[in-house]
Structure 1
Amino acid sequence: MTVMIAQADGVMTLTLSRLDKKNALSAQMYQQLSQALIEAAADPQCRVVLLTGGPDCFCAGNDLADFLAGGSLNHEHPTVQFLHLLSQFDKPLIAAVAGLAIGIGTTALLHCDLVYATASARFQMPFTSLGLCPEAASSLLLPRLVGYQRAAQYLLLGEAFDGGQAYQMGLVNEVVAAADLLALARQKALQLAALPATAVQQSKRLLKQPMQQQVQHVLHQELAEFEQLLHSDECKTALKRFFQR
């Protein structure tokens, strides 16, 4: 399994476990993550989901070769299925981020309720350098969170930022030492799991509700633009350079 699943005390922990590829997400991993979220949503014993890549690397983005072999970005595509499940998941989602958080490794965090990271975590959304556009509704959610100019800095220029900068802009709740990261994230997950489940889920629903319809619309729009760009000469040239590195 490239996604390790453990459940205890009301918390389902999903650990990306493909360190030889820096936890780059394959179609198989997207399928495993989607299935885990479906099971978590249906299981009354599961109160909270904790997502991590372990102490060294969160996620280096998509496995591009695998992604390009996945076919059209329709509702059957594993990436598309995961994005819709993630954006509509009704139980608390917590992320613990160390090391690389590239592309979807950053944009997925915009759908999490609590995010904890190390100071040295490296966030980046290098879509334009690959001839692509934002995904996961990040073109909507990131400007709302950090302001337009800063969102443009990270989505247009694709500049990287660290855990401290992520904390300052509100993407991360707390910056912690690497040795304490998973323990703190699990402590917060257990705190949430101990609260009345219906109250927590209704509260999350109320927090998300004002933008939920817009998020789904933008997610669809981004995917359509993303697929068009995938077939452009600019993108093909950029991807060729990427694979030659």
Structure 2
Amino acid sequence: MKLSFEQEHIKQTYQYCLSCEPISTVHPAIATIQQLSWFTQSLPSLPATLPDFQPRLGLWYEQLWLKLIDCHPDLELIAYNRQIIEQNQTIGAIDLLVADHQHRCVRHIELAVKFYIYFQLAQKWQWIGPNLKDRFTHKLSRMLTHQLPMGYHPQIQQLRLRYPNYHFNQQIILQGRLFQPCSAPRSPKDGTWLFDSQLNVSERYLYQIVPRQYWLTPSHAAYQPLTTNIDRAVMVYGQGKQFWLLPDNYMSTYNG
């Protein structure tokens, strides 16, 4: 039986979480799809619904994983977004703490889904968020030097006491996509970006602006026409291609 548009979107969104390779493997804590086999091989079915969309894509992405964990017969959620407080001050938080009963393991998991473009700022090429505020190097450093160590804080380790014979494991699930300049060589999994004026006017009707809730699965996006001019960075999809379109005055919004 053919799936409806909504059913196909639900299926593809969860399959993205389970099959998208990380945007980087520069650290062994970043999980590849193969290293998530402990999760995927025992998952009997996908959730039937998506969580309500949140303005923050990262928060919605976390809730997608909560739905997947809830469907998993061998997993028990111990903590989600657990804050660590010392002397009435929040010093950090962890995303997920999960008991994996099949493998007798307590797993601390940090989640992130990021879309970065390769752009030259201050005479230096770097991976940045389309809003010009986020940096891949900053995000990765934060996850490795602050968020992962929080898993060993006594307040988090205290939660493991219910499972004295389970070993402890940490993983970062870092998904998303990287986008190179349209003229640059790139790997097959990378996308491209270009300035508004670089897109042929006669071809604009072939593309659509992708709403944030479809960034993971742009081929199933609801139609939003691409206007003649844009005043902000937008994700665009059409002709089987996903790319970022930047306004020609893109750099004028950069504050350093």
Settle same-fold status: TM greater than 0.5. Answer: no
Which one has the largest radius of gyration? 2
TM-score, normalized by length of structure 1? 0.23
TM-score, normalized by length of structure 2? 0.22
Larger strand percent: 2
